[in-house]
Chain A
Amino acid sequence: MNQIQILVIGRHPEILQTVVRLVNNNPDWNATGCITDEEAINAFNKQPFALVLLGGGIEKESEDELCAHFKAANSGTKIVQHYGGGSGLLSAEIFAALG
């Protein structure tokens, strides 16, 4: 089975780890977590991601640069905010983005 690849970016290591774990609770999804912009861009360049989740603490300038890079590299990639929140909100936001 092909899992949907999801890139999770967040500045808070503990929250990032939790969000990655929560995403991976769904067997159809596989999350890669990155703290820095550089890590995120490197990960994105290595494999295709269907979805990018932007977490808390990402500065506006970084967000704009990341989004521009991701869209230029793969215009089909969906980019949405996530808000933590245990298993609740996160799943709905992913489902909505993936359609």
Chain B
Amino acid sequence: MAQTILHKAETRGHANHGWLSSYQSFSFASYYNPDRMQFGALRVLNDDTVDAGQGFGKHPHDNMEIISIPLEGDLEHKDSMNNVAVIKNGDIQAMSAGTGIYHSEYNNDRDSQVKFLQIWIYPNKKNVEPRYDQLSLNLEDRHNKLQQVLSPNADDAGVWIHQDAWFHLGKFDKGIETAYTIKKQGNGVYAFILSGQVEINEQVLNTRDALGIWDTDQFKITTVTDAEFLLIDVPMKY
């Protein structure tokens, strides 16, 4: 029997730093809730809005897989591996922090905010060589179907990370039903609704709600309205 956990949008942590508004699905910074530390290997899901001309200064990470998915605007990335890149809506960025890296992320636009998802996954290997990857995705490939945007395999669709995790994005019209098969035994899925209304396992979810589902092989997704969503398929034990 499937196990589920519902995280309504309004139950997330929130930090307003003036230049940054961050809604946090799991404990992060001053938001500490022992009941909301992670979903399996998924440790961080921050829904961030960065003001024009602002950003995250140079800061370190280690032994974490860090994925950024821009939703609006352009975000400039610089890191200690000498990567300089701009990611925009339709792109996905993955970084393996491994033995340790520094990076910064800035919104260089003087007029527009940047909205992006910042996702951290515990790796399945420690102290790997730091690496960076980004990819531009074809937005049409997620219309009324699930588009794989991340996997553990370098030769599979999307970017890859050091964990048995798969991400899919979907942009579905109202009234479409699809099924998702969990990729690996022991994995669960954290379904995060980007917009619209979606029903999963008889649970109606609204914009920015999330449902974690595990101990099942497959579940149904039905769009109640036009909707966009992200499925994060991760090991529950890692």
A84–B100 CB distance below 8 A: yes
Q: What secondary structure prevails in chain B residues at the interface with A? A: loop
A89–B97 CB distance below 8 A: no
- Segment touching A, from B27-35, B81-89, B166-174: B27-35
A14 in contact (CB, < 8 A): yes
When chains A and B are docked, how far (Å) is the Cα of A57 from the Cα of B28?
Answer: 23
Residues 76-91 of A, flagged 1 when their CB comes within 8 A of B and 0 if not, give 0000011111111101
Evaluate whether A96 and B34 lie within 8 angstroms (CB atoms) in the complex, with A15-B102, A85-B61 already known.
Answer: yes
Interface residues of B (CB under 8 A from A): 27-32, 34, 37, 43-44, 56, 59-64, 97-100, 102, 120, 126-127
Total chain A interface residues with beta-carbon distance under 8 A: 26
Identify 18 new A-B residue pairs, CB closer than 8 A, beyond the known A95-B27, A96-B37. Answer: A15-B102, A55-B62, A56-B62, A56-B100, A57-B99, A57-B100, A60-B126, A82-B62, A83-B62, A83-B63, A85-B120, A86-B56, A91-B30, A92-B27, A92-B28, A92-B31, A95-B34, A96-B27
Evaluate whether A89 and B62 lie within 8 angstroms (CB atoms) in the complex, with A59-B127, A83-B97 already known.
Answer: no
